């Protein structure tokens, strides 16, 4: 019988369990987008996960969304990540880098550049900047001839990720960032080959994934999607048809996995499960909702056909989450005030479960 603690073969990786640490922005990189010693400790503490997916890592300066996030577009950034991946591997773990291009969810005060997007339509809400939250600016719409360069940026970052010691990469195609913006029915108003029809709107995602597969191999490449998303105002008004078409195209590539967030009804997610022939990873609670993923939600989606289950917030405050889930130990609560920035407090200071006599 398959359980959360059954082993799983993911490409060339032998996962000891099916618990995945989901990507979570923690905003603790050093100047220049460099990974730090604290980041090495943070990820190494959680290396008992079957797989770790890192926080979002920008593939270019213009692709940076938030201040204080790490990159994979300079030699210095690559070198800074090697102690992180070494620490995870030394503790017996496996780690993919999530490649995240923010697109329109950015600000000139953060990058020195005007954000870019599929169309000149601002994201909804306020974005983080070095001086605090500010309204999302109107991005510059990419010219048709510029779009392939941004698709290739994922592949370029993926090459650097492998140079830095990562076991693979996950393209962030969810939550209203650049790939999601191209998929969107209201953020993408283009009339060229990258917009309009479903075939046009999925083209950027397919090109980005294809380039990455060509760069590092299909078994080292995954993608995260949020069907029917409305993050940052990027909506998909035809989520089932859109994501079915996308997964049908991606199925030809033999990816390591598709990672779905529960941003649509179960019926949509289950239909996409039937469409996708490969490994499916599911994050089984609504992102940023009041409930965190627990054993019951994980077991339910394993029963519904997912092979891997990702846990987000529970991993922040429970570095030993796998053991707590295995033995039924209570989960420690998380301090939301220390999600972002804040140094090592609320980052490295959550202990493993303390047994009492």
Catalytically active residues, by annotation: 177
Cα gap 225→118, rounded to integer Å = 18
Cα gap 10→316, rounded to integer Å = 24
What are the angstrom distances between the C-alpha of 99 and each of 56, 57, 197, 302?
Answer: 6, 5, 26, 26
- Contacts (Cβ under 8 Å, ≥6 apart) of 288: none
Looking at the chain, how many residues does it have?
357
Cα gap 324→61, rounded to integer Å = 39
113 close to 64: Cβ distance less than 8 angstroms? no
**In this structure, how many other beta carbons lie within 10 angstroms of the beta carbon of residue 143?**
9
Cα gap 134→107, rounded to integer Å = 8
């Amino acid at each position: 019988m398959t359980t959360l603690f059954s082993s799983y073969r993911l490409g060339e990786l032998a996962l000891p369990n099916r618990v995945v640490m989901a990507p979570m922005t923690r905003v603790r990189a050093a100047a220049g987008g460099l990974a730090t010693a604290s980041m090495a400790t943070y990820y190494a503490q959680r290396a008992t996960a079957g797989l770790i997916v890192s926080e979002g890592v920008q593939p270019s300066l213009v692709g940076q969304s938030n201040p204080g996030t790490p990159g994979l577009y300079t030699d210095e950034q690559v070198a800074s990540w090697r102690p992180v991946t070494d620490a995870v591997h030394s503790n017996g773990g496996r780690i993919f880098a999530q490649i995240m291009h923010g697109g329109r969810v950015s600000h000139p005060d953060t990058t020195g550049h005007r954000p870019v997007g599929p169309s000149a339509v601002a994201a909804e809400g306020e974005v983080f900047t070095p001086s605090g939250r500010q309204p999302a600016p109107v991005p510059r719409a990419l010219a048709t001839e510029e779009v392939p360069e941004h698709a290739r940026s994922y592949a370029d970052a993926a090459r650097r990720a492998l140079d830095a010691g990562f076991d693979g990469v996950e393209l962030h195609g969810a939550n209203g960032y650049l790939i999601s913006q191209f998929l969107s029915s209201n953020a993408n108003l283009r009339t060229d080959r990258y917009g309009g029809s479903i075939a046009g709107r999925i083209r950027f995602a397919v090109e980005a994934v294809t380039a990455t597969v060509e760069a590092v191999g299909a078994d080292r490449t995954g993608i995260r999607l949020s069907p029917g998303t409305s993050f940052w105002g990027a909506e998909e008004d035809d989520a089932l048809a859109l994501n079915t078409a996308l997964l049908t195209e991606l199925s030809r590539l033999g990816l390591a996995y598709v990672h779905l967030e529960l941003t649509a009804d179960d019926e949509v997610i289950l239909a996409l499960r039937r469409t996708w022939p490969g490994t499916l990873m599911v994050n089984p609670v609504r992102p940023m909702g009041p409930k965190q993923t627990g054993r019951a939600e994980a077991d339910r989606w394993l029963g519904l056909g997912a092979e891997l289950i990702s846990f987000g917030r529970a991993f922040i405050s429970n570095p030993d989450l796998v053991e707590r889930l295995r033995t039924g130990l209570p989960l420690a609560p998380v301090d939301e005030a220390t999600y972002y920035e804040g140094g090592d407090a609320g980052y490295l200071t959550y202990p493993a479960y303390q047994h009492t006599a």
